[in-house]
Amino acid sequence: MDTLSPGTKLGRYEIRSKIGEGGMGEVYLAEDAGLDRKVAIKVLSESLLADEQAKSRLVREARAAARLDHPNICSIYEVSEDDGRSFIVMQYVEGETVDVRMKRKPLDLSECLSISSQLADALAEAHAHGIIHRDIKPSNILITPRGKVKVLDFGLAKIVSRRVAVDTEAETAMLLTETGVVLGTAPYMSPEQLRAEQLDGRSDIFSYGVVLYEIMSGRRPFEARSLAELTSAILMRDPPPLQSHSGVVPMGFEALILKCLEKEPSRRYQTMFELSVDLDRLCRDCESGNISASMKEAPTVRMDSAVSKPLRSWLLPGRRAVVGFVVLVILTLALLGYMRFFRHPTNNAQSTNKYESSPAYDAYLRARVNLKSENPAQIENAIALLKQATSLDPNFAPGWAELARASNIKSFYFSGSDAEKKQLNEDAAVDVEKALSLDPNLAEGHFARGIILWTHANHFPHEAVIQSYRRALDLDPNFDEAHHQLGVVYFHIGLLDKGLAELEKATSINPSNTMARFRFGVIDMYRGKYEDAYTIFKSTPLTSNPSLWAFQCATALWRMGRPEEATQLLDDYLQKYPKDEGGVGTSVKAMMLAKAGKNREAESAIQRSIEIGRGFGHFHHTAYNIASAYALMNQTGLAIKWLQDAADDGFPCYPLFANDT
């Protein structure tokens, strides 16, 4: 293939410079004259297009990959041909690939976990659309200056259907013989890929495990001096223990990586969703400090120098054996406690920057980490930390605002008695007014005021809540969670387009706002787009809110005409979470029983959902499901009563009512 010189035209694109090459082709920086933007163009190697059948398949699969729309996937704009050259036009993203980044300096632990999480999100999205990458490796993972991961080369991915791929033997041979591909690709290939067997998403999961091992340790799990020896190692040998290379390995991560690296696909994680559930749980354990760490004396995973200097001063010869391990554990836990905060930094920092010198700031940051996960233990941790923060500095306005929000979350989702709810709500109201009296221009304060207003006890005053969120956004337009919650209010009252617009802003500002991304699927549900909704739900695990995930997924499956799968999902959920917060899972079961003509069982499920759900913050969704169940049983009076209850209690989503016939 002849290298293209600057100024060469490919359609409306003008080549500026060559920026990379490999066995698949050469990559150029180019200018899109029509849209006045930079693009990356991969001119495909002639060997990939040896015959018309191979060429048409490659173009078809690249076009399928172009439909992927995810913040961690490098977008494909066009697949085209000019003067006999076939090429793929892609988003141009500034940054450096992971392999280059690791050569420059070792990755620290928070970077490793950020990369692993974002890469998992990208693969889950692709697999949900029936596309496998087949070439996951550090040189295909780019990190932007802001720390966002972009997975490259999806234009050469493979469409799979029911775990069947085609022409695998020829493609593997090509990958192992093209110039520059052997050393760059073979170490990341799965055993079945090397054996030229049929591939599915589990092959990507193996490659994902190789990448995780390498970024954690700085070494590949399978190393050899020749391709034959490397192939033998991947097919036959177990990787060395991660601790033999790495200095700091949070407990549980090695088990996750080794499960990815199982030789037999049936023994690996079966889906990226399954893997993501475990990954998210481990990250939450890290952020809460509920982890142990495996360590060795000279860490490969870099710890920040600010903590390594005091460590050296403690480890004097006479004390090393006594305190060395203890201090390392303390420092590791401190690092991991901040890990998720730095991995997913919130974008509403401008109104709290002036408080960074406060003695309360440390406890405040740790509390915010706990508040990211809506589970009872971490909410209690957050409340304790925020009380500590406001005790250390009574004038620390952000601490009072977050304490109000934490009390609201506990009242809304987890508290038991009405008396406890009332006390928590009163405390929250006092705390938010304290915050705003100290700092009237605190975006977090106006946001917290909106949060605590939007409750059953306050009769869900939508207009006042919208005003509070808008005030917060006037003060800080990049406050992603304010955009998210404003979107939630909008779609609850039936303003679906406005809700969608706010969710798009939230995820644009913070692509790691998983809950906001999940709620794109909720809006699709309300519009009757059940398959689109289910695709989003599958690719967005919510381990911190399993009731919401199970409720929406089961409802989508049922609406799609897959009641057996919906029933199995609900049964699994109710067995694992018998408390069924809000009774929402049980209410979905009531709808399904009513549809099946099992009226007596449906009535029993309705009463059970009322018994366990009353007092829950989002009981209006349970009420709507009860109305639907009664409608299916032709009990019109009760259906109208419960529908009115849902609307009066914060859920007047009339477009949903109209669509759901």
Residue pair 149/142 in contact by the 8 Å Cβ criterion: yes
Other CB atoms within 10 A of residue 297 CB: 7
Residues 103, 105, 108, 114, Cα dihedral to 10° = -50
**The token pair that represents 247 in the structure block:** 């200095």
| CA dist., res. 59 & res. 588, Å (int) | 43
* Helix residue ranges, H only, 237-304: 253-260, 272-288
Long-range CB pairs of 494-502 (<8 Å, 24+ gap) are 494/652, 494/653, 494/654, 494/655, 494/656, 496/523, 496/526, 496/527, 496/655, 499/523
Maximum CA extent, the chain = 81
Of the candidates 32, 108, 121, 135, the residue annotated as catalytic is 135
Residue pair 416/424 in contact by the 8 Å Cβ criterion: no
Residue pair 145/95 in contact by the 8 Å Cβ criterion: yes
Nearest alpha carbon to residue 559 among 584, 527, 586? 527
Residues 81, 84, 88, 92, Cα dihedral to 10° = -100
Residue pair 61/24 in contact by the 8 Å Cβ criterion: no
What is the chain's alpha carbon radius of gyration, rounded to the nearest angstrom? 27
What angle, rounded to 10 degrees, do the helices at 397-409 and 418-438 form? Answer: 160
CA 180 to chain centre: 33
Q: What angle do CA 266, 267, 268 make, to 5 degrees?
A: 95
**The token pair that represents 543 in the structure block:** 């381990």
Residue pair 294/255 in contact by the 8 Å Cβ criterion: no
Instruction: Provide CB contacts within 8 A for 509, sequence distance 6+.
Output: 347, 478, 480, 483
Strand-pair partners of 73:
151
Q: What angle do CA 545, 548, 552 make, to 5 degrees?
A: 145
Going by their DSSP bridges, the two strands 25-32 and 37-44 should be labelled as: antiparallel
**The token pair that represents 197 in the structure block:** 């067997």
Long-range CB pairs of 596-605 (<8 Å, 24+ gap) are 596/563, 599/633, 602/629, 602/632, 602/633, 603/633, 605/629
Is 108 tagged catalytic? no
| CA dist., res. 370 & res. 175, Å (int) | 45
Residue pair 311/396 in contact by the 8 Å Cβ criterion: no
Active site residues: 135
